[in-house]
Amino acid sequence: MKLMINCGTCDARNVSEETLKAYEQITVNCGSVMVTPETKELLSRYSVNLNCGDVLELGKDVLVSSVNGRAEIKPTDLVPKKTYLKVNGSLEIAPGAEKVLEQYVGIGVNGMVQYPESMSAYLGKLKVNGAANCYPDGAIVLKSSAVIDKTFLLRARKRLYWSAKRMVMVDPELDGGALAGKGATFSAKEVILSEDKVESLLDCIDEKAELILVPQGTGVILDDVELGEGTAKRYGRKLCVMGDVEISKEDGGVLAEMEYLNIHGDVSVPAQWKDLLLEKAEISGDVSVIKGRVLKDRPMLKITRQLLEQEPEGIHVEDCMTVRLEEDIPQDLILDRLTIRDCMKVLCGPDQEGAVSMICEDVMKIGADEGEDGIGGVIRNVLGGAKAVLNTRVINAGDYVL
């Protein structure tokens, strides 16, 4: 009998030799596994496969506190002796929590941690798999992408305001002079600033921040967007997009009406609109030209020869799990009428692989169907066929004690 464990955290600090002897093989797929020096040596003597991101050596008497989501360490927290804190999400460390930090034997964060500058010396026990944001002591912490508008002005004080990512200062009704008069200052990695507010607010912004100046009346979009008439009506004919932009064949005409377009991301555009896009927009990312019909966001997509022959302008496939090409599609038709991007795998015949490789971008696997599609195929892949399924005990859990 084999054992397969799929979990977030596996606690193997108390595993016994009797448990290990009971299985022909043990496979642990997890984010992190906890061991003691003794159990680490014991595991190495048996057929145990650990597929994990991190191995933690902790004493058997250490209490493990796990948080999925948002966690905070405050000066008033009471921490039991010998505690290890594990956070899958975000951790915020409040000012004045030095003594609380000293009570933890360790802290592991898969995600983001945020702390004041004065805490840096107390974070030797902290291990971060993600982003660590350190802000100036005494600063008021805003959202990672903070909008400074007329409502913000009503509550502004003579303080430093800090944002981990960016601040947006484009509201036409924001009185820059009044905001500066309150003594407020601002710090962020980047600041999007309307040109009409430069004179009044420039001295209030940390000189290390990257300034992105936009014309007065520019609308700012802080995410990916499909650029069309609806977007233009909502945000106006002047746009700054802090994400990727997709332009469809039907909506490309709105480009001619744009007065200003600044894109801080990648752009997907039909061939007929590419020249107009390059004429109208400032683009920091890549420009991908899309052929004809767009098929996207499908768990499974089948491309037939008839389908390609019916689309003289071609087909663009994007964000699909599995794309299957029928084997009777000739290579020249694939090269001429098909593009594939950001898909998990593309299944095709051996004679098609060369052509498929030429028209794919950001695809994990290209090749022949090895019987791995569908739920049954996944099980066969992972467990080694029907015989292995019957001889394997599978455990799925958030946290598991071995």
Residue ending a domain, choose from 114, 135, 156: 135
- C-alpha to C-alpha distance for 34 and 9, rounded to whole angstroms: 8
For residue 382, is it within any domain? Answer: no
Dihedral sign computed on CA atoms, order 249, 250, 256, 258 = negative
Tally Cβ neighbours within 10 Å of residue 115: 22
Q: Are residues 207 and 145 in the same domain?
A: yes
Q: Are residues 310 and 346 in the same domain?
A: yes
Least confident of 74-83, 145-154, 178-187, 337-346: 74-83
pLDDT beyond 70 at 229: yes
For residue 72, is it within any domain? Answer: yes
Rounded to an integer, the average pLDDT of 105-114 is: 87
SS3 374: helix
For residue 17, is it within any domain? Answer: no
| Residue linked to tokens 């767009």 | 294
User: Letter for the amino acid at 173?
Assistant: E
pLDDT at residue 128, as a whole number? 86
Q: Are residues 182 and 231 in the same domain?
A: no
| Residue linked to tokens 């195929």 | 377
| Residue linked to tokens 């061939």 | 271
Its domain, for residue 196, covers 140-214
Q: Are residues 247 and 303 in the same domain?
A: no
For residue 11, is it within any domain? Answer: no
For residue 85, is it within any domain? Answer: yes
- Report pLDDT digits (tens) over 203-213: 999 999 999 99
- Report pLDDT digits (tens) over 279-318: 889 999 888 887 778 888 889 999 999 999 988 888 889 8
Q: Are residues 285 and 299 in the same domain?
A: no
Q: Are residues 210 and 225 in the same domain?
A: no
In the sheet with 238-241, reading across from the earlier edge strand, the strands are: 219-221, 238-241, 260-263, 281-283
8 A C-beta contact, residue 353 and residue 334: no
Q: Are residues 77 and 94 in the same domain?
A: yes
Alpha helix (H) residue ranges in 313-397: 331-337, 353-359, 374-383, 386-390
Going from the C-alpha of 363 to that of each of 104, 203, 281, 295, the distances in angstroms are 43, 47, 28, 15
For residue 147, is it within any domain? Answer: yes
- Report pLDDT digits (tens) over 8-37: 788 888 888 888 888 888 888 887 888 888
Q: Are residues 259 and 284 in the same domain?
A: yes
This prediction's pTM:
0.71
Going from the C-alpha of 137 to that of each of 96, 102, 159, 160, the distances in angstroms are 10, 20, 11, 9
For residue 238, is it within any domain? Answer: yes
8 A C-beta contact, residue 295 and residue 314: no
Residue ending a domain, choose from 237, 256, 290: 290
For residue 44, is it within any domain? Answer: no
- Report pLDDT digits (tens) over 316-325: 898 899 999 9
Residue ending a domain, choose from 94, 116, 135: 135
Q: How many domains does the chain have?
A: 4
Residues 6+ apart with CB under 8 A from 170: 192, 193, 194, 197, 214, 218, 219, 220, 240
- C-alpha to C-alpha distance for 358 and 88, rounded to whole angstroms: 39
Query: Nearest-CA neighbor of 161 among 131, 193, 194, 183?
Result: 183
Kindly indicate the confidence band of residue 176, based on its pLDDT and cuts at 50, 70 and 90: very high
pLDDT beyond 50 at 372: no
Share of the chain above pLDDT 90, in %: 36
Q: Are residues 365 and 297 in the same domain?
A: yes
Q: Are residues 153 and 182 in the same domain?
A: yes
- C-alpha to C-alpha distance for 277 and 259, rounded to whole angstroms: 12
Query: Nearest-CA neighbor of 162 among 112, 98, 205?
Result: 205
Q: Are residues 336 and 354 in the same domain?
A: yes
Identify any residues that bridge with 395 across adjacent strands, giving them in sequence order: 5
| Residue linked to tokens 């009998």 | 1
Rounded to an integer, the average pLDDT of 218-239 is: 90
